[in-house]
Amino acid sequence: MKYNFVTIEGNIGAGKTTLANLLSKHYNARLILEEFADNPFLPKFYENPDQYAFPLELFFMAERYKQLKELLQTKDLFQSVTISDYLFTKCLLFAKVNLPEEEFRLYQKLFEIINPQIVQPDILIYLHAPVQKLQENIKKRNRGYEQNIPNDYLFNLQETYTQYIKQHNIKTLFVDASNADFLENEKHMEIILEALDKEYETGQYYLSLP
């Protein structure tokens, strides 16, 4: 394995956690998963986004910071690779979509204080799937509060992610996950594993899953 810290990102329902789990087993890696279920504001946000967006995003940022800081500072002699199913910058991207301008500016100031303390991944795997595929995956996993997420919201998140990746120097495997089935299709996992066995310059590299 050529990378010590691999992060998987993508929209809601893109398959981040599934792929992170499979990669961590394959590489015997430490696994960092987003603890979204612990956020008490998440169900309330989907019911009333205007009222709960700011506390939702503050809670997520604090929890992500605490989790990444603790796990990445702890040396593990038996597991040199770490796999995460979120990028800390996710805080800023979701806040940009969810918050009004004044609240976003305040949030951005807090983010800019915290972000330099976070270890950045050696490589990012971004799973890009069309909104229809995302909605199908969301329905399958059947979390009650997610069942009425509007298509426009998912599309805005998608655009925000892709713009960020294209504007920043991040070593990224940009995966077309329209047909992704990492659990049932061994070929899809092989493509990801083969890609991670190569060394890349900074930039975006595109993979498709047939």
Q: What is the CATH number of domain 5-208?
A: 3.40.50.300
Instruction: Give the domain ranges of the chain.
Output: 5-208
Say if residue 6's pLDDT is above 70: yes
Mean pLDDT value of segment 87-91: 96
- In angstroms, the CA 155 to CA 54 distance is 21
Q: Write the DSSP assignment of 38-66 as a string of letters.
A: G-TTHHHHHH-HHHHHHHHHHHHHHHHHH
- In angstroms, the CA 100 to CA 54 distance is 9
**pTM check: above 0.85:** yes
Question: What's the CA angle centered on 20, arms 15 and 25, to 5 degrees?
Answer: 135
User: pLDDT class for 69, splitting at 50, 70, 90?
Assistant: confident
Retrieve residue 49's tokens.
């986004």
Q: What confidence score (pLDDT) does residue 14 get? A: 95
Identify the residue with better confidence: 18 or 38: 18
Q: Residues 187, 195, 29, 72: is their CA dihedral positive or negative? A: negative
Q: What confidence score (pLDDT) does residue 78 get? A: 67
Q: What confidence score (pLDDT) does residue 201 get? A: 92
Q: What confidence score (pLDDT) does residue 1 get? A: 80
Say if residue 37's pLDDT is above 80: no
Residues counted in the chain: 210
Element (H, E) at 196: helix 186-196
- The residues annotated with a catalytic role in the active site are 85
